[in-house]
Amino acid sequence: MQPLLDEVKNAIERLPDRPNVFSLPIDEIRARAIEFGTPTVFGNTNWVSTVKNRSAALTVHLGSPSVRSSEPTSKKRDIRKHAPDTIRTLHRYLERAPLLRVDCRVGDNNEFAPECTMYLSQYRRETVRLAHKVLQTFFASRRADGPRLTVVFVPEWQERERQILVFPEIGVTYVLGTDYYGEAKNALLRMAMWKAKQQGMLGLHAGTKIIRAVGPDGVPRRLGMLLFGMAASGKTTHICSNHGLDKPGEGVEIAQDEVVFWRSDGSALGSERGFYVKTEGLHPDAHPLLYRAASSPNAILDNVMVDYQGNVYFDDRTLTANGRAIIQRNDLGDLASPSVDLPPLAEIDGLIIGFMVRKYTVVPIASRLTPEQAAVAFLLAESIDSPGAESSPRPRQGEVGSNPLFVGNPADEANTFYELVKSHECKVACYMLNTGGVGELVEQLIDGARRVQKKVTRVEIPEMSAVIRGIARNTIRWREDANWMVETPDYIDGL
């Protein structure tokens, strides 16, 4: 494997000097991208890709045994087997294809902010939109020393050979045969999480914010929050919510939506300036903050239904159930935190860690966990083949920390998480929060279709907001649940 890694590394090092590699000013990239988009009544632009989901089933990690992914499918085994030939064919192609170079940075701090480069083939000119989206998601490059991550993105690769080859140890990912933007974003975040682990941090697939809440004693507290959850679990909805914290001095400061790097002092370094949020079901009444940001002229829409007059239909699933928007933190208004980073625990009054689940329909609406139980929840996190991944929706093995970008040994991740929680036990409180529902009756038809005979009764947004508000204000009355062997609510104000 090492000779192959050396071959990839050498090819990447030669790319900047090739005559077929070029750069463009940010404004020109945007102007070129807009040519291929659809303008909306909001004053922003929607783009539609051919591939509309992550190719998780075609993503393979290559390198030493510490990063190598298990290959449970014949397709993944086939990709791995033919990787050397694929890579050599790709390297020859990269000598001839027009490659747009885009530089950016994951994070906005002086401790860990990897510099990133994407080489995007412009054989299909309309895919310039991918460069525009990367620049609207991540921070401007400082051209500094330190970790460097590289993505080579070739959308026009043969469809039958579509694959994502990840080389975490050398910070390189090859994305072949897809034009879905999520692959570019995920490639950079996946590699950044691996690099963070090598520096003693824990990359988390979690949203973060500061909560200011007044307790029963009338004393205001400033709390950090880490919120885990897979797609469609409600993570983004509740990160971008004030939970009805309306007393004087109360409120929230939204920091991040997807990936942070947790350090031993309890701080969590952010990664993005733009949030890539799901738009299905987005409504001004249920999601006022997210709707306002997604309908801003600064937003970028991705695979959303837009008609010939520019009207936007977030609920329309004709194109996909995985419509997205890149929203800017600036458009969150006063609820955006001054920094994308959570401060160290020494600078705040505590940290709330929440695991959002929606498929475990029988678990309590909220459970208070010990550090040991929290580590198990982290390790065995609920997962579902969500609309963000290209496969059928069926329960499967959980992904560590609800993290679809995980690389490495699950035990290492779980032990690191446990040690961090345990070392700050006096200031860290962990909870499982159930945003799912009960009572659905479904008939499976002979052609595989589902006929819903009885609709599900779900935990609604105001109800989960009441739970989080009660946790922050410390007003929930807890009791030991003999059946679940965790503490569950005996009383929640407003629920």
Tell me which DSSP letter residue 231 carries.
T
Backbone angles phi, psi at 423, to 5 degrees: -70, -20
Per CATH, 2-35+55-179 and 202-491 having the same topology is answered: no
CA–CA dist 116, 118 (Å, integer) = 7
Residue 207 has pLDDT above 80, yes or no: yes
> Which amino acid is present at 371?
P
What stretch of H or E contains 480?
Answer: strand 477-481
**Is the pTM of the predicted complex or chain greater than 0.75?**
yes
Q: What is the mean pLDDT of residues 38-52?
A: 98
Length of the chain: 495
Alpha-helix residue ranges (DSSP H) falling in 65-180: 74-93, 128-137
Query: Residue 399: what pLDDT?
Result: 59
CA–CA dist 419, 11 (Å, integer) = 40
Q: What is the mean pLDDT of residues 469-493?
A: 96
DSSP string, 6-35: HHHHHHHHHGGG-TTEE---HHHHHHHHHT
Pairing of strands 259-262, 441-444: unpaired
Query: Residue 448: what pLDDT?
Result: 77
- Would you say 366 and 352 are in contact if contact means Cβ atoms under 8 Å apart? no
CA–CA dist 419, 372 (Å, integer) = 10
> Which of 279-308 are b and which e, b meaning 16 or more Cβ less than 10 Å from the residue's Cβ?
bbebeeeebebbbebbbbebbbbbbbbbee
Residue 231 has pLDDT above 80, yes or no: no
CA–CA dist 234, 290 (Å, integer) = 12
For the chain, the structural domain boundaries read 2-35+55-179, 202-491
Backbone angles phi, psi at 336, to 5 degrees: -80, 135
Tell me which DSSP letter residue 320 carries.
-
Going by pLDDT thresholds of 50, 70 and 90, the confidence category of residue 380 is confident
pLDDT digits (tens, 9 = 90+) for 241-253: 999 999 999 999 9
Query: Residue 394: what pLDDT?
Result: 41
The separation between CA 313 and the C-alpha centre of its own chain, rounded to angstroms, equals 23
Q: From 3.90.228.20, 3.80.10.10, 3.40.50.2000, 1.10.10.60, which CATH number describes the 202-491 domain?
A: 3.90.228.20
pLDDT digits (tens, 9 = 90+) for 118-160: 999 999 999 999 999 999 999 999 987 777 999 999 999 999 9
Of 333, 349, 367, the residue nearest 480 (C-alpha): 367
Residue 366 has pLDDT above 60, yes or no: yes
Greatest alpha-carbon span in the chain: 69
Contacts of 447 (CB under 8 A, 6+ apart): none
> Which amino acid is present at 125?
R
> Which amino acid is present at 338?
P
CA–CA dist 25, 35 (Å, integer) = 16
By three-state DSSP, how is residue 238 classified? helix
What stretch of H or E contains 354?
Answer: strand 350-357
Going by pLDDT thresholds of 50, 70 and 90, the confidence category of residue 382 is low
pLDDT digits (tens, 9 = 90+) for 287-302: 999 999 999 999 999 9
Please return the burial class of 235, using the count of CB atoms within 10 Å of its CB with bins 0-12, 13-18 and 19+: buried
- Would you say 171 and 195 are in contact if contact means Cβ atoms under 8 Å apart? yes
What's the CATH superfamily of 2-35+55-179? Phosphoenolpyruvate Carboxykinase, domain 1 (3.40.449.10)
Alpha-helix residue ranges (DSSP H) falling in 410-460: 410-423
Contacts of 27 (CB under 8 A, 6+ apart): none
Query: Residue 403: what pLDDT?
Result: 64
Residue 425 has pLDDT above 60, yes or no: yes
CA–CA dist 480, 159 (Å, integer) = 54
> Which amino acid is present at 105?
R
Query: Residue 410: what pLDDT?
Result: 86
What's the mean pLDDT when you consider all of the chain?
A: 93
Residue 397 has pLDDT above 60, yes or no: no
Query: Residue 416: what pLDDT?
Result: 95
Give residue for tokens 């490639």: 187
What stretch of H or E contains 255?
Answer: strand 251-256
How many CA atoms are closer than 13 Å to the CA of 430, on its beta-carbon side? 20
pLDDT digits (tens, 9 = 90+) for 46-91: 999 999 999 999 999 999 988 887 767 899 999 999 999 999 999 9
